[in-house]
């Protein structure tokens, strides 16, 4: 056996790798809006819904569109995660989506800044649709970034307060709390300790308490996440300090972090029938509009009350506001059928009857002002609370950022550290968080 010629092997390996390496920088496949939307065509629509009633609702929405546009056929792919969508948006191709919908509004900044989704502003303008007058204020805000509107709202989520009316009566509480100090008093009155745990907990205040995240809870304090220069405002806006302090005080008053976390580990999961609000283990719950249907389906054995979340003391005039988020839809930059895709996006996001029908089917908040007022909207009277929160001009959302919701993760991380006692000096923690947010944004630019 002759000795292996090293040079030859090296040359071969190097040439193959160089040839392959050269293909790494070929850029994106061509895209554009040169297709004729009046011709027979098929577009791919990827969405994230998975529950049977949701999938049925999506299909009904698509059927309505195909009836209105007989030449455009829609190939629907459901149960798609953001991660899969990100990859498909990057690679493109015949099987990739022309239109996507995602639950993560926090990704809008990433989608817009990277150019993964096309700017819809020129298309809205061409169609004579004023987005500012079509969508509720908060939804209008979270669907754009840096002057680009690369998404449109496709139904929304509004966050409010669910409370156990039976437990309230037993505790002698007449109505839902309207301020945080009332909320604090009610939470303590509703808490019944039981050894290491609780027979009933007024509210699960820790940030791992399902929807009690910093972004949802802090909305009631109307914080400004960024200043005019786009720098983090976390250390400068007193709303953050107030919000962190309020939550920490509640954690300490209801038994302390360790006891609450241990108790939380015993509770059912968020999306199952054994959610602690359904079972009566937790008397108040910050949650989205979908909880009402889920809770009633679980036959809780008590009367469910619904109200807007409390506001800070002294801001009672703003009672009724809440945090708004929702599903977003957009057109892939890699799509070769952008005109047909726009017809579809325009229909599902702005056609009043389509939006109302879809909202009725999946019990979400409609995402246009006209649909919110539509007489065709069917709902449980308590659901109106969420419609009002969505329409409230004081309701807020979290702003889009170039790196998606990374700044919210940093704010949340400080919350974890502060509630557990790991971060004792809140001011120093806020400074550090602000610096981290600015560093992360600089890294993404």
Partner 1 sequence: MTTVTLASKRRRAALRTLAFMSPWLIGFAVFFAYPLISTVYFSFMHYDGFNPPTWSGAKNWTYVFENYPLFWPALRNTLWLVVIMVALRVLFGLGIGLLITKIKTGTGVFRTLFYLPYLAPPVAATMAFAFLLNPGTGPVNSLLEKAGIPAPGWFNDPTWSKPALTLLALWGIGDLMVIFMAALLDVPTEQYEAAELDGASPWQRFRYVTLPNISPIVMFAVVTGVIQTMQYYTQPLIAGKVASGVIQGAGTMFEPGYPDKSTLTLPQLVYNLGFQRFDYGSACVVALVLFVLSMAFTSLLMRRRGGLMQAGD
DSSP-based three-state secondary structure for 196: coil
We find the least distance from the C-beta atom of residue 301 to partner 1, in angstroms, to be 21
Asked whether position 210 contacts partner 1 by CB under 8 A, the answer is: yes
Contact track, partner 1, 97-126, x by CB under 8 A: ------xxxx---x--xxxx----------
Closer by beta carbon to partner 1, 2 or else 128:
2
We find the least distance from the C-beta atom of residue 389 to partner 1, in angstroms, to be 15
The residues in 147-176 that bind partner 1, with binding defined as CB under 8 A, are: 157
Asked whether position 319 contacts partner 1 by CB under 8 A, the answer is: no
Closer by beta carbon to partner 1, 1 or else 228:
1
We find the least distance from the C-beta atom of residue 13 to partner 1, in angstroms, to be 5
- The span from the CA of 343 to the CA of 69, in Å, is 8
Looking at 118, 235, 333, 369, which residue binds partner 1 (CB under 8 A)? Answer: 333
The residues in 220-249 that bind partner 1, with binding defined as CB under 8 A, are: none
> Which residues are 148's β-sheet partners?
145
| Main-chain dihedrals φ then ψ at residue 168, nearest 5 degrees | -60, -45
Looking at 58, 61, 89, 371, which residue binds partner 1 (CB under 8 A)? Answer: 89
Asked whether position 326 contacts partner 1 by CB under 8 A, the answer is: yes
- The span from the CA of 140 to the CA of 157, in Å, is 13
Which part of the chain contacts partner 1 (CB under 8 A), choosing from 182-190, 234-242, 375-383, 412-420?
412-420
Asked whether position 55 contacts partner 1 by CB under 8 A, the answer is: no
Asked whether position 416 contacts partner 1 by CB under 8 A, the answer is: yes
CA-CA-CA-CA torsion for 413, 419, 425, 427, nearest 10 degrees?
60
- The span from the CA of 308 to the CA of 411, in Å, is 23
Q: How many CB atoms lie within 10 A of CB 111?
A: 27
We find the least distance from the C-beta atom of residue 205 to partner 1, in angstroms, to be 14
Report DSSP state, residue 104. Answer: -
We find the least distance from the C-beta atom of residue 20 to partner 1, in angstroms, to be 4
We find the least distance from the C-beta atom of residue 100 to partner 1, in angstroms, to be 14
Cβ partners under 8 Å of residue 244, min gap 6: 414, 415, 418, 426, 430
Asked whether position 271 contacts partner 1 by CB under 8 A, the answer is: yes
Looking at 2, 30, 52, 147, which residue binds partner 1 (CB under 8 A)? Answer: 2
Tell me whether strands 152-164 and 324-331 are parallel, antiparallel or unpaired: antiparallel
Closer by beta carbon to partner 1, 209 or else 357:
209
We find the least distance from the C-beta atom of residue 219 to partner 1, in angstroms, to be 11
Tokens (6 digits) for 422? 């790991």
Q: Are 323 and 288 in contact (CB under 8 A)?
A: no
Closer by beta carbon to partner 1, 3 or else 130:
3
Looking at 194, 269, 303, 316, which residue binds partner 1 (CB under 8 A)? Answer: 269
Asked whether position 318 contacts partner 1 by CB under 8 A, the answer is: no
For residue 410, the number of C-alpha atoms closer than 13 Å in the C-beta half-sphere is 24
Tokens (6 digits) for 6? 């090293």
Cα 227 to its chain centre, rounded Å, is 22
The residues in 346-405 that bind partner 1, with binding defined as CB under 8 A, are: 403-405
Asked whether position 51 contacts partner 1 by CB under 8 A, the answer is: no
We find the least distance from the C-beta atom of residue 421 to partner 1, in angstroms, to be 11
- The span from the CA of 46 to the CA of 34, in Å, is 22
Contact track, partner 1, 123-152, x by CB under 8 A: ------------------------------
Burial label, 240 (beta-carbon count in 10 A; 0-12, 13-18, 19+): buried
Closer by beta carbon to partner 1, 364 or else 394:
364
For residue 187, the number of C-alpha atoms closer than 13 Å in the C-beta half-sphere is 25
We find the least distance from the C-beta atom of residue 430 to partner 1, in angstroms, to be 15
Looking at 95, 125, 373, 422, which residue binds partner 1 (CB under 8 A)? Answer: 422
Burial 33-59 (b: 16+ CB within 10 A, else e): bebebeeebebbbbbbbeeeebbebbe
């Amino acid at each position: 056996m002759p000795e292996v010629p090293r040079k030859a092997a090296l040359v071969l390996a190097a040439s193959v790798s160089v040839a392959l390496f050269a293909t790494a920088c070929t850029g994106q496949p061509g895209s554009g809006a040169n297709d004729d939307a009046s011709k027979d065509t098929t577009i791919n629509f990827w969405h994230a819904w998975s529950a049977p009633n949701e999938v049925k609702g999506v299909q009904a929405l698509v059927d309505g569109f195909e009836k209105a546009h007989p030449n455009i056929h829609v190939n629907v792919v459901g149960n798609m995660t953001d991660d899969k969508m990100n990859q498909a948006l990057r690679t493109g191709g015949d099987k990739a989506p022309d239109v996507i919908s995602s639950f993560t509004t926090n990704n809008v900044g990433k989608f817009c800044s990277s150019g993964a989704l096309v700017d819809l502003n020129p298309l809205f303008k061409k169609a004579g649709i004023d987005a500012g007058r079509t969508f509720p204020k908060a939804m209008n805000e979270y669907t754009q970034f840096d002057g680009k509107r690369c998404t449109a709202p496709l139904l929304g989520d509004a966050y409010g307060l669910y409370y156990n009316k039976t437990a309230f009566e037993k505790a002698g509480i007449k109505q839902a709390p309207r301020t945080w100090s009332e909320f604090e008093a009610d939470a303590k009155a509703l808490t019944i300790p039981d050894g290491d745990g609780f027979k009933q907990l007024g509210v699960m205040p820790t940030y791992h308490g399902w929807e009690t995240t910093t972004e949802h809870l802090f909305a009631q304090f109307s914080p400004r996440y960024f200043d005019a220069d786009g720098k983090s405002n976390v250390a400068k806006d007193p709303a953050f300090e107030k919000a962190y302090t309020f939550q920490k005080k509640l954690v300490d008053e209801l038994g302390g972090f360790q006891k609450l976390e241990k108790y939380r580990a015993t509770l059912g999961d968020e999306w199952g029938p054994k959610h602690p609000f359904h079972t009566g283990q937790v008397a108040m719950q910050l949650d989205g509009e979908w909880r009402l249907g889920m809770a009633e389906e679980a036959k809780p054995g008590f009367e469910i009350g619904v109200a807007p979340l409390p506001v800070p003391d002294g801001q009672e005039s703003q009672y009724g506001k809440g945090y708004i988020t929702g599903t977003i839809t957009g057109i892939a930059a890699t799509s070769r059928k952008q005109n047909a895709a726009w017809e579809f996006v325009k229909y599902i996001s702005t056609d009043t009857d389509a939006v109302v029908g879809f909202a009725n089917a999946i019990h979400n908040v409609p995402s246009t002002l006209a649909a919110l007022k539509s007489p065709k909207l069917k709902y449980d009277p308590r659901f109106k609370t969420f419609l009002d929160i969505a329409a409230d001009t004081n309701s807020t959302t979290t702003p889009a950022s170039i790196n998606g919701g990374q700044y919210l993760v940093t704010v949340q991380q400080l919350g974890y550290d502060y509630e557990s006692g790991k971060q004792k000096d809140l001011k120093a923690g806020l400074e550090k968080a602000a610096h981290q947010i600015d560093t992360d944004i600089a890294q993404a630019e």
